[in-house]
Amino acid sequence: MASLKEVRNRIVSVNSTQQITKAMKMVSAAKLRRAQDSILQMRPYAQKLGEMLATVSAGTETATESPFSRVRPVERVLIIMVTSDRGLAGAFNSNIIKAVVDRIRTQYAGPASRGNVEILAIGKKGGEGMARRGFKVDTRFMDLYTRLSFVSVKEAAEAVMSAYADGRYDAVELVYNEFKNVATQIIRTEPYLPIASAQETATTRTSTVNYIFEPSEAEIVNELIPKTLKIQLYRAVLESNASEHGARMTAMDKATENAQELLKELRLVYNRTRQAAITKEILEIVGGAEALSA
């Protein structure tokens, strides 16, 4: 049985940990509200922009001529992996890492065996996790969360778009956590490049519409495609940011509850140990008194 001092030290330690988890839960709750507002405002815009591009490109042939629409045999792959900079968020980061590894093994085993799969890490945890597993990791935008804004995400999107247009990659995919609610995050794997061709998007339309373009078809489509790609990545980062705070809030709430249960058990052990020590002292006193009187 542990001594009173050991049990007392454990109680102090668990109590301190519980205070930390409570504080972290409160901080995550405050950050979650702002992150949730941001993604709820972004979703309708991103969805409408995607619909606009699909509608316009379905009625034109200009989209097929874009460098971001070129379909090539898949030999070199880039996976944009969105995680977080910090842990203590349950399985938030490990689930993304597992999803990316499974995706590479099942879908891109050939390119991976030739060393042609690269990871663009947004968030330190994902980059560090994939580097430990021996994958090529582009760390240029790994600390993007320290300066999270559309401008910083736009730089990452432009770097990916430029690399694809230059033929460095034949396919680009996006893997992130989509925010559903505080307790639920959904892992999404989406194609990023090449974009859907005009013929593919046309199959979703029930009728063909003739458009009058101003200033011109080429200018509108060439402006919409890069903007849509940048917004798509920005939305994924905002989704992941909100998901991270929700996951951490849930994890810290559970940790606080577990600490409370552990404190109850430790206090029970402490009281029993203290009672046993008192009983032992009483028995020793009684035994000594009987020995003196004998």
pLDDT reported for residue 54: 76
Three-state secondary structure readout of the chain:
CCCHHHHHHHHHHHHHHHHHHHHHHHHHHHHHHHHHHHHHHHHHHHHHHHHHHHHHHHCCCHHHHCCCCCCCCCCCEEEEEECCCCCCCCCHHHHHHHHHHHHHHHHCHHHHHCCCEEEEEECHHHHHHHHHCCCEEECCCCCHHHHCCHHHHHHHHHHHHHHHHCCCCCEEEEEEEEEEECCEEEEEEEEEECCCCHHHHHCCCCCCCCCCCCCCHHHHHHHHHHHHHHHHHHHHHHHHHHHHHHHHHHHHHHHHHHHHHHHHHHHHHHHHHHHHHHHHHHHHHHHHHHHHHC
Asked if residue 25 belongs to a domain, the reply is: no
Q: Determine the average pLDDT of the residues in 241-245.
A: 94
> How many independent structural domains does the chain possess?
2
Are 11 and 149 part of one and the same domain? no
Q: 213 pLDDT exceeds 80?
A: no
Are 240 and 288 part of one and the same domain? no
Asked if residue 79 belongs to a domain, the reply is: yes
Q: Determine the average pLDDT of the residues in 128-135.
A: 93
Q: Compute how many other C-beta atoms are within 10 angstroms of the C-beta atom of residue 197.
A: 17
Q: 286 pLDDT exceeds 60?
A: yes
Q: In this structure, are residues 246 and 181 in contact, taking their beta carbons and an 8 Å threshold?
A: yes
Give the confidence band of 209 by pLDDT, cuts at 50, 70, 90.
low
pLDDT reported for residue 103: 94
CA separation for the pair 138, 176 (Å, rounded): 17
Are 234 and 267 part of one and the same domain? no
Are 155 and 50 part of one and the same domain? yes
Are 155 and 227 part of one and the same domain? yes
In this structure, of 2-6, 22-26, 198-202, the range with the lowest mean pLDDT score is 198-202
Are 121 and 207 part of one and the same domain? yes
Largest CA distance in the chain: 117
Are 66 and 13 part of one and the same domain? no
pLDDT reported for residue 280: 82
CA separation for the pair 163, 185 (Å, rounded): 30
Q: 76 pLDDT exceeds 50?
A: yes
pLDDT reported for residue 219: 77
Q: 6 pLDDT exceeds 90?
A: no
Q: Please give the angle made by the CA atoms of 214, 218 and 222, to the nearest 5 degrees.
A: 110
Q: Determine the average pLDDT of the residues in 209-238.
A: 82
Are 16 and 74 part of one and the same domain? no
Domain with 281 in it: what CATH number? 1.10.287.80
Closest CA to 192 of 103, 292, 80, 111: 80
Are 269 and 198 part of one and the same domain? no
Strands 77-82 and 117-122, by their bridges, are parallel
Are 240 and 259 part of one and the same domain? no
Are 178 and 272 part of one and the same domain? no
Q: In this structure, are residues 63 and 220 in contact, taking their beta carbons and an 8 Å threshold?
A: no
Per-residue pLDDT tens digits for 85-114: 998 898 999 999 999 999 999 999 999 999
Q: 201 pLDDT exceeds 70?
A: no
Domain with 160 in it: what CATH number? 3.40.1380.10
Q: Which residue has the higher pLDDT, 163 or 200?
A: 163
- What is the Cβ-side half-sphere exposure of residue 93, based on CA atoms within 13 angstroms? 19
Domain extent for 156: 31-252
